[in-house]
Amino acid sequence: RSARGKKRASASPPGTGAAFFPESLSANERSICRATSGAQDLPLTTANTLTPLIDGDQAYPAMLTAIAAARASVALSVYIFDADEAGSMFVDALDAARRRGVDVRVLVDDLGQLYSRRAIASELQRRGITTARFMPRSLRHINLINLRNHRKMLLIDGRDAFVGGMNIRHGHMLRAQPRRPVRDIHFRVAGSVIDQMAALFEEDWNFATREDIALPRWRGEGSAAHPVIARLVPDGPDSHFEKLLWVMLGAIAASTHSIKIMTPYFLPGPILTSSLLTAAQRGVVVEIILPERSNIPLFDWAVQANFRKLVERGIKIWQSGSPFDHSKLFVVDGVWSLIGSTNWDQRSLRLNFEANLECFDAAFAASLTAYFDRRKDESRPVVIESLLALPLWKVVRNNAVRLLSPYL
């Protein structure tokens, strides 16, 4: 896998990657671009269109419609593909595409299947859909059980793609009033950055199956009304190890006035935490929205153990109430955004295989900021008075659990 990663990196055209800065970048964007490009192999791409899709109510219909319109190829990579009402809709759509003669491939994480009462891979294979499991569980490879494919990508015919942090589960369909509702945001993508996503899927598929495939590439269909400069930032415990961490550190270091973070899980390591604290001390307004309760109580306690240090040094934190918010956003200075599957914790940044897009565009960042601000208005601020009033037993509990941070 490392060799494949190096091969893909070396395929970048001369004069791209860290050395390529589109003329349309503003001075602020150019500064951030210099800071984030050093750790990356892939070039920036232009003329992309990115559309936010809120919850499964917007994302799933758009994804299903795209699958229904597929003519040649559908490639889906997902962490959790639940065998529930939402999963059934996707299985039916994928099966219909297969019966039309479309080349359909589904890559599911084997551990992610445990979130479903019955494994979706069996149903996909029963329908004749080409399916692969990423890193199948076995005693022989028990030492690799924590290395999971957390990517969520859907690619259609090289002309349409979806990326973000949303799994396929009934809980994301809020209008259906599920028993365990989950908020989230996903993104529709059109443009040449799809080629980078396709290459990443090909790499993952080869790793899981030892089969070389070639997905369709972007052919410049249509034109972007408001083009976004974007680049795929793959990350994982392979040739891409810690690339995303360095991109995040670079963006924070280059920030001049604002940082907005929205994540369901916030347990960054000491280096990332220190970079945020340093930015706040420079006068950058650092705002973070986290769920008041995630789906992992132990994780929540460890997160709370860090609150006092962050709030005392000027970082502003809000906690959102029910339903659990799984959204992942990172916006710097209102011009640079990071979207995708990565959480702000050690599991995402060191163990998981992740897929994210860094985007340079003020209008796109403004749409994410509006989403962020709406969530902030619905959330409760964390104030130092409430942290100082915590009972001693909670302080001890939270700090004890924080020692387990690398394993959560």
Instruction: Give DSSP secondary structure letters for 181-239.
Output: -EE-EEEEEESTHHHHHHHHHHHHHHHHHS-----------S--SS-EEEEEEEESSST
Percent of the chain with pLDDT over 70: 94
Q: Looking at domain 50-225, which of 2.60.40.1660, 3.30.870.10, 3.20.20.370, 3.30.465.10 is its CATH number?
A: 3.30.870.10
Exposure of 44 in the CB half-sphere (CA atoms within 13 A) = 27
Token pair 């920030």: residue: 255
Q: 277: which residues sit within 8 A by CB, 6+ positions away?
A: 309, 310, 313, 315
Instruction: Give DSSP secondary structure letters for 250-305.
Output: HHHHH-SSEEEEE-S-EE--HHHHHHHHHHHHTT-EEEEEEESS-S-HHHHHHHHT
Letter string b/e over residues 59-95, b meaning 16 or more CB atoms within 10 A of that residue's CB: bbebbbebbeebeebbbbbbbbbbbbebbebbbebbb
| Confidence label for 6 from pLDDT (cuts 50, 70 and 90) | very low
Tens digit of each residue's pLDDT (9 = 90 or more) over 356-378: 999 999 999 999 999 999 999 99
Q: What is the model's pTM? A: 0.92
| Confidence label for 97 from pLDDT (cuts 50, 70 and 90) | very high
Q: 31: which residues sit within 8 A by CB, 6+ positions away?
A: 254, 256
- 385: exposed, middle or buried (Cβ count in 10 Å: 0-12, 13-18, 19+): exposed
The whole-number average pLDDT for the span 336-344 is 98
Amino acid at 181: P
Partners of residue 353 on adjacent β-strands = 149
- Residue 236 near residue 146, CB atoms below 8 Å: no
Do the domains 1-43+231-408 and 50-225 sit in the same CATH topology, yes or no?
A: yes
Q: What ranges make up the beta strands (E) of 15-129?
A: 45-54, 73-78, 103-109
Amino acid at 131: T
Check pLDDT > 60 for residue 9.
no
| Confidence label for 225 from pLDDT (cuts 50, 70 and 90) | low
Check pLDDT > 70 for residue 288.
yes
What DSSP designation does 171 have?
G
Instruction: Tell me, rounded to whole angstroms, the distance of Cα 182 from its chain centroid.
Output: 16
Q: Give CATH superfamily name and number for 1-43+231-408.
A: Endonuclease Chain A (3.30.870.10)
Percent of the chain with pLDDT over 90: 80
Q: Beta strand 379-381 with 316-320: parallel, antiparallel or unpaired?
A: antiparallel
| Confidence label for 223 from pLDDT (cuts 50, 70 and 90) | low
Q: Residue 222: what pLDDT?
A: 59
- Residue 230 near residue 197, CB atoms below 8 Å: no
Q: Quote the mean pLDDT of the chain.
A: 92
Q: Beta strand 130-134 with 103-109: parallel, antiparallel or unpaired?
A: parallel
Q: Residue 15: what pLDDT?
A: 33
- List the domain boundaries for the chain: 1-43+231-408, 50-225
